[in-house]
Structure 1
């Protein structure tokens, strides 16, 4: 089989970008921050009256809170102002659309590659590449919207914090949140999707390498004797 190198690169990068984006979508680390609580009136991890360091992280569909250096951890579906923020909702929609479009584009490109024949279906493969590239642009848009508006997405601790294993917290501190690992995965996955889609788009070009098969249409005429 004579498959152009661009198609091979595209069919490798596109699924890798899809996996990274899916990982980013299901993990709750698009932003993270920490807050120190002074003088909690209940022993936690054997440290009575000591300052507690709370670690907060938010994803697109889940938020988590953990007490540092302990096993106390609670996760819950996103709620409150964060859940209803238009930018968070936009990121959710864009990521979901990107996942579906990229998955369908990869399937279309795989059919176009036609691993069971010598020559790929260039137009079909490039069509799949166009969908993968579009998915990459949607992913980039989602990551850009979330990153740009991250400081304004709300930094308050959820009310359920006070119910975390009976902690007696009277005053909830403010948080300064920053981009976290899942958001970086999203950026990387979107970039790989875009690169993979652009590489598959080169399938529109007819191969020019000497080793590529060439279809030669010739008409063979055989001489025969006509009996009178």
Structure 2
């Protein structure tokens, strides 16, 4: 029996979506921003520390550094443009305590867990090494993958909607020169998450179509009797070779 196209599509798209969402979760590029930090002023706290670094760490003008900041769900990074100076650290402070960030963390973790279980069920249900797949098992796995895709899409939507407000501490003040204002924008990991979530929905929906039974051919001599691949009651079908009756395409 040929493996249904919906199962093949689901068993390909669901793991691919899981890999993309997992990659987005562990990388710190959910949002990124740039800030030009003046170091030439009389009150600058970086002026003395940059005298011995040379012009390679400076960007734009001789008295400014362009800082590149990126935040993820569990890690943040800071880098000086055109320089190898880069440091990453676990998220902390207002950003870590923000309830919206914690909500997104819980949603994506639940999505990964459900998607993994759904893929395992789908692999057991497809059973491309046998003649007849377990359609209900494969479809149940597809439903779990669909739920996982919806959870990750919800988390991504919450993060994207509040991207510029996550972890903002009003007590610092916008005009403080020691904390330059960052223009935060969506970054690559966020786009990977969106793509992976859409693939999860596509793959899970395709697997969920496995609930629908295929149409079996009818016996030419007895039109009222349906014939499945394991049927041996029809002489016209049983006379064919085993390869024709039990052909499996994985």
SS at match of 1:150: coil
Provide the residue aligned with 2:195 in structure 1: 188
Q: Does 1:101 align with 2:118?
A: no
What are the Cα deviations for residues 159-195 of structure 1, in whole angstroms up to 9, with x where unaligned?
A: 9xxxxxxxxxx71201120110000001001000011
How far is the alpha carbon of 1:214 from its aligned partner?
3.7
Counterpart contact for 2:124–2:138, Cα < 8 Å:
yes
Instruction: Report the CA distance shift for 1:206/1:35 in structure 2 as closer, same or farther (over 3 A).
Output: same
How far is the alpha carbon of 1:208 from its aligned partner?
2.5
Q: Structure 2: which 5+ residue stretches go unaligned?
A: 41-45, 218-226, 235-250
Counterpart contact for 2:94–2:168, Cα < 8 Å:
no
Partners in 1 of 2:111 and 2:25 — Cα distance? Answer: 11
Provide the residue aligned with 1:22 in structure 2: 22
Counterpart contact for 2:121–2:138, Cα < 8 Å:
yes
Question: TM-score by structure 1 length?
Answer: 0.85
SS at match of 2:32: strand
Partners in 2 of 1:152 and 1:97 — Cα distance? Answer: 24
Provide the residue aligned with 2:208 in structure 1: 201
SS at match of 2:36: strand
Partners in 2 of 1:116 and 1:81 — Cα distance? Answer: 52
Provide the residue aligned with 1:135 in structure 2: 148
- Number of paired residues? 207
Instruction: Calculate the aligned-residue CA RMSD, in Å.
Output: 2.3
Detail structure 1 runs of 4+ shifted over 4 Å in the superposition.
Answer: none
What are the Cα deviations for residues 4-33 of structure 1, in whole angstroms up to 9, with x where unaligned?
A: 001100000000000000000000000000
How far is the alpha carbon of 1:116 from its aligned partner?
1.6
Partners in 1 of 2:163 and 2:27 — Cα distance? Answer: 17
Question: TM-score by structure 2 length?
Answer: 0.77
